[in-house]
Amino acid sequence: SSTGATSSPTAPVTTGATTTTATTVPVTTVAPTTTTTTVPVMHHEPTGWDDWPDCPAELSPTVPGERLVVDGFDDRPTMLQRSAEPAGPLLVIFHGQNGCIEKVQGQTDLEQIATGWGVNVLWLSGKPVPTRSWNTNGRCCTPASSEHVDDLPYVEAAIGAARATGLTPSRVVAVGKSNGAGMAVSVGCRRPDLFDVVVAIAGWASVQCDQADLSLMVEIGTEDEVFEVSESRAIVDMWRSRVLTCPDPPTEERRERALVTTWRCGEQFIRFTVIDGMGHLWPTYPWFDADDEILRIARGEIPPG
């Protein structure tokens, strides 16, 4: 399947009070998915990838954080946002095909709110050959795959550079959308010793994983123009069959147009969200916000124990 950056119409958003109901499969009590912790929250209309300007030739000076020097990878802008908690979680963010840090920040509020949650963020860049993408498996995605780029050494070096600033993250989360989602799956499966959670938004099973202590969150819209729901569900099926043992039945929670299914797997979890009517988007609805989900997972708050 193509993982190109495809613009998509914004699905209608229901505003106002949100009514959330919880059911189980089979009958199981669903614990609350929020805590009483007061944290910054922002919401904006979910935005299509192509609704943002083309990536600039040089990293924009308005990109927040500090520029990291990653030896041997001078052509890949790498930005670190440090919170007041050096031991706080670390998000490692992968942009999409033909993307850049600026584009992924245009879809999410993480660059504005993560540090307020005590979460550190590492923003990575694909190799410009000439546009930036990630070679997830040797076949996808161009131009990185056709140019046989090996991205893993850069990812390893960037995380090492972040740690060299004094960070000692309690949890490391690989996060990406589309081509970036495939890369998050790929690096998580290839280096489960580096990551604790993989977050794949509008992605697919780019590689096969072996058994590992590695949690997973997958989100997809039913009107995604790039991937079928079944392609994202394949990531979940792989995790359930190959990566984690989840003896208990899942819980299901309905949040307006989002159906959230969660498996508890010992200390790990698998979480799969399908959003009715959503295209190839990063969901930031008032009733389901990927930023909130990612930050709570990073802090160990989802799913509740």
- pLDDT at residue 10 in the model: 34
HSE-CB for 114 with a 13 A CA cutoff? 30
Q: How does pLDDT run across 90-113, given as a tens digit for each residue?
A: 999 999 999 999 999 999 999 999
With a cut of 70, which residues of the chain have pLDDT below it?
1-53, 304-305
Per-residue pLDDT, 35? 42
Residue 44 has, within 13 A of its CA and on its CB side, a CA count of: 12
What local confidence, expressed as pLDDT, does residue 40 receive?
66
- E-only strand ranges, the chain: 20-24, 66-67, 79-81, 90-94, 120-123, 172-177, 197-201, 215-221, 251-255, 258-265, 268-275
pLDDT tens digits, one per residue of 17-48: 333 333 333 333 333 343 445 556 666 666 65
What count of Cα atoms within 13 Å lies in the side-chain half-sphere of residue 30? 20
Q: Residue 27 contacts by C-beta under 8 Å, 6 or more apart in sequence?
A: none
